[in-house]
Amino acid sequence: MNDHGAATQGMVPVSQVGYDSRMDRQWVVDLVERLPQGVLSRGWGWIARRRHPRLGVEILKRVFVKAAGIDMTEAEQGTRDYSSLEELFLRRLRPGARRIDPDPTAFVCPVDGRVGQSGRVTNGTLLQVKGRSYELSALLGDAKAAARFEGGTYVTLYLSPRDYHRVHSPVSGQVAEAVVIPGALMPVFGEAVSTVDELFARNERLITYVDSPDAGRVAMVKVGAMMVGKITLAFDPTIHTNRAGQGKRQVRYDPPRMVQKGAELGAFEMGSTVVAVTEPGCVDLVKMETGTAVRMGQRLGVVVGRKRKRRPTSKKKSGPATTSKR
């Protein structure tokens, strides 16, 4: 088996796990473009946080679980134990539900979801969908920051409403910087990605940069969407998206926040998209087909620097023993 063979285990084509939807939702995209997206998303967040009336909340939770097809056997608690729909969205997994690949060379999947696109940053652009690309500088909101990733790899991961909603670090390192970039809140399902130019660079984003000794800098771009009440950071409750009147906000942490591979970085109130971008020569991604289902903690790539360190060094052959004459 080659270096990447084991990494593809556990990846299942989307059609085999119930993600494949044949319903034409283009009308939703057209409608949302005409609506006050921020107001509606904040309104949905308000509804999701309601704890009363209890009977209404219980019915809402159960309807959502059934409609979305959520596997509650993986959750830390049962449906009734969550006091609001928001708590259900942000549910933690029971111990052992996910395995973080222990191999030091592993660049692991930060979320449960499915692969949108993956590849290499070329001429400052990333592929959104076949025939549509967008500028990394627009996604990061900073041309200088984007230049650092030219020639590096990227992977786009889509989370549906049924998925586990927390985002984790693909490598061990430290976070010295987080950036909130306000924007639109267009839906990010297939029809929208296929028809809306530069969708991920238009929508609201929360970016954390993870700096790793072996994997270099990794840009973790969490992209907002319609009905995502907000995106939050696990280590800084003062930072979140979808705040009325909020402009671009850049926060630096001194000292930086240390994170281990698989540690939580943040969360979505509903499903959306994560774009992970790495520096050139740092991470080699495994081959992944669009629509492949992935789970948090499984290997998505190989940390090149760490792999080099693990290569056995050839032992130098010693010559025949000699004795010195006095």
Question: How is residue 245 written in tokens?
Answer: 């009147």
In this prediction, what percent of the chain has a pLDDT beyond 70?
78
Active site residue 272: yes
Average pLDDT over residues 184-192: 79
* pLDDT score, position 184: 85
pTM across the whole model: 0.82
- In the set 101, 112, 163, 214, the catalytic residue is 112
Residues 6 or more apart from 218 whose CB is under 8 A from it? 170, 171, 173, 209, 210, 211, 212, 276, 277, 278, 279, 283
**Beta strands per DSSP E along 149-239:** 153-158, 166-168, 173-181, 205-212, 216-223, 231-233
Active site residue 169: no
pLDDT in tens, 95-154: 999 999 999 999 999 999 999 999 999 999 999 988 899 999 999 999 999 999 999 999
- In the set 160, 172, 212, 272, the catalytic residue is 272
Active site residue 168: yes
C-alpha distances out from residue 289 to 8, 119, 202, 295, Å: 10, 11, 25, 15
Q: In what order do the strands lie in the sheet with 216-223?
A: 12-13, 292-294, 113-120, 153-158, 273-278, 216-223, 205-212, 173-181, 249-259
pLDDT in tens, 157-186: 999 989 999 999 999 999 999 999 998 888
Question: How is residue 252 written in tokens?
Answer: 């630096």
* Band of residue 306 on the pLDDT scale cut at 50, 70, 90: confident
- In the set 168, 169, 214, 240, the catalytic residue is 168
